[in-house]
């Protein structure tokens, strides 16, 4: 797993849970390098990453 913020592979899985309604399994990761947080969704033959609660949120 790669960090979507800095590209580092030094990430750790914090926790994981199921989303039965959506059919996804979610794993919450934290990057040891930049402290970025992101969720990895897997299910229904596809997977994707969503950034959540970055240490430095650059919005607007
Ligand atoms: Zn990172």
Length reported for the chain: 60
Residue 60 has pLDDT above 80, yes or no: no
pTM, two decimal places: 0.82
Residues 1-33: tens digit of each pLDDT = 999 999 999 999 999 999 999 899 999 999 999
Separation of CA 15 and ligand 1 centre (Å)? 17
Domain limits at 56?
1-60
The rounded Cα 60 to chain-centroid distance in angstroms is 22
Domain count, the chain: 1
27 closest CA partner among 48, 7, 13 = 13
The pLDDT value recorded for residue 57 is 55
For ion ligand 1, residues whose CB falls within 5 Å: 3, 5-6, 8, 31, 33-34, 36
pLDDT tens-place string over residues 44-56: 899 999 999 755 6
The per-residue pLDDT for 46 is 94
């Amino acid at each position: 797993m790669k960090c979507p913020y800095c590209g580092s592979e030094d990430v750790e899985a914090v926790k994981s849970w199921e989303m039965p309604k959506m059919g996804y399994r979610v794993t919450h990761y934290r990057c040891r390098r930049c402290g970025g947080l992101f969720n990895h969704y897997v299910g229904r033959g596809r997977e994707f990453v969503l950034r959540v609660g970055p240490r430095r949120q650059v919005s607007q």
